[in-house]
Structure 1
Amino acid sequence: MNIKISLQVMLLCSSLAACSQLPAPPPSAPAPVPSQPAATAPAAVAKPAGASVKPPAAAATAPAPLLHIDPAQSLIAVTVRRGGMLARLGHDHLVAARTVSGTVAPAQNRADFQFRLDQLTVDEAPLRTAAGLEKQPSADAIEGTRTNMLTKVLDAGRYPLVAVHAERGAPGQPLQTTITLHGVSRTLAIPVDIRANAGIMTVTGAVNLKQSDFGIVPFSLMGGALAVQDQLELKFTLVAR
């Protein structure tokens, strides 16, 4: 009986072993031979974390050229007329600025220049003749006129410079010109003639100004019996290269 039971147990174990065994996997196909990879561009170098990526720099543009005013070729001439009941006893005067400095920017249609009051000349004989003024004053009279002009009229020690900023709109239009004199700025439309040739620009024009518009009291003597007229007549030639 024991032999019979043992035989049954052996048969049962064999059956369980056969049921628990997994089927063998199918034979695997041969691994494919890798093809030659196509040529590729070099891989980009990775940026460190947090590094900013700069855009390509824009092409640098050259600054627009500036022209410089040539003092040797430039002149601002101011005719000062006499007035009052005793005007016949006085002189008309010609005051000139020959030390004008500054720049002209043709691309921006603007100019900025200035001159010093203490460098003004008074009654140069050739300029008086060109302006139609007669009877050349004496050297003492000229020096007295210059001293009175700088100290009693223009207050050149306190306001030593005359500054000018000019802008042009359409060709042929007047210059919108801001003049700063005696600490006061005024803007005027000044007709001009502009000519440019071979890198040289020449600007000519004329304008009348009133001294009182700039807070200046015209010089006078004897209660105004002998005086300087308020209106000034300016003519100018500016050469920039």
Structure 2
Amino acid sequence: MTSDKDSVWTIGPADGELLLHTGVAGRAARMGHRLTIAMTRWCATVRWADSRPVSAELAVEADSFEVLRGDGGVKGLSGAEKAMVRSNALKSLSASRFPRIRYVADAIEETDDGYRLTGALRIRGESRDHLIDLYTEDLEDSWRMSVETTIRQSDYGIKPYSLLMGSVQVADEVSLTFSAVRAQSN
């Protein structure tokens, strides 16, 4: 994957999707839902120098959660339950106090099937080193980019939501997936 010698790519929701996937833990885990949540307001920026990516940044509005679905559980999620999930997530993230989630990669290495990004992930005011493997696919006139990475909520001071005295709880590790398509430039 290459770009013009010195350019900046901006990628957003019109180009792809950013999804959060949760698991369920606790003694009564089968009663809970594995959630798929879309982040609806985000922007990724990639800076290029000498036809190589040199830095990347992702900024996500913390209150841009949209619960798409809940798999498993005793019954499907109602609209009111989706609203409650969103409300609980915003409280857990302290979204009014920390309105943005940010990832900044300051080192990018080419791999056989894409790039390895080394940087810092900042959630809820806590910053941790985070490594991301970005996979790329040449579609002739465009590039497909994809990522799947795991984040441990407790590393960022987030207490996973629970109910029934902890018998059902959101698993501490959540998965974040990203996919986007960007036109190739000459």
> Does 2:27 correspond to 1:90?
no
Task: Mark the CA change 1:121 to 1:159 in structure 2 (over 3 Å): closer, same or farther.
Answer: same
Structure 1 stretches of 5 or more lacking a match?
Answer: 1-62
Task: Mark the CA change 1:156 to 1:70 in structure 2 (over 3 Å): closer, same or farther.
Answer: closer
Match of 2:101 in 1: 162
Query: Between Structure 1 and Structure 2, whose CA radius of gyration is higher?
Result: 1
Aligned pairs for 1:1-241 (under 5 A) are: 64-107=6-49, 108-122=53-67, 124-125=68-69, 133-134=71-72, 136-151=76-91, 153-166=92-105, 167-172=107-112, 173-195=115-137, 200-240=142-182
Q: CA deviation at 1:196?
A: 5.6
Q: CA deviation at 1:106?
A: 2.8
- Higher relative contact order (CA closer than 8 Å, sequence separation 6+): 2
Work out the CA distance in 1 between the residues paired with 2:55 and 2:182.
12
Other structure's SS at 2:158 match: coil
Contact preservation (8 Å) 1:175, 1:189: yes
User: C-alpha offsets along residues 125-149 of structure 1, whole Å, 9 cap, x if unaligned?
Assistant: 5xx6xxxx34531111111111111
Work out the CA distance in 2 between the residues paired with 1:149 and 1:160.
13
Contact preservation (8 Å) 1:68, 1:240: no
Q: CA deviation at 1:182?
A: 0.8
CA root-mean-square deviation? 2.4
Supply the AA of the counterpart residue of 2:151.
Answer: L
Work out the CA distance in 2 between the residues paired with 1:177 and 1:114.
13
Supply the AA of the counterpart residue of 1:233.
Answer: S
After TM superposition, the score normalised by the length of structure 1 is 0.64
Greater strand fraction, Structure 1 or Structure 2: 2
User: C-alpha offsets along residues 147-204 of structure 1, whole Å, 9 cap, x if unaligned?
Assistant: 11111x1111111111111231234452213211111111222222124667854321
Other structure's SS at 2:6 match: coil
Other structure's SS at 1:170 match: strand
Greater helix fraction, Structure 1 or Structure 2: 1
Contact preservation (8 Å) 1:74, 1:98: no
Q: Percent identity?
A: 26
Work out the CA distance in 2 between the residues paired with 1:230 and 1:83.
8
Work out the CA distance in 1 between the residues paired with 2:40 and 2:143.
17
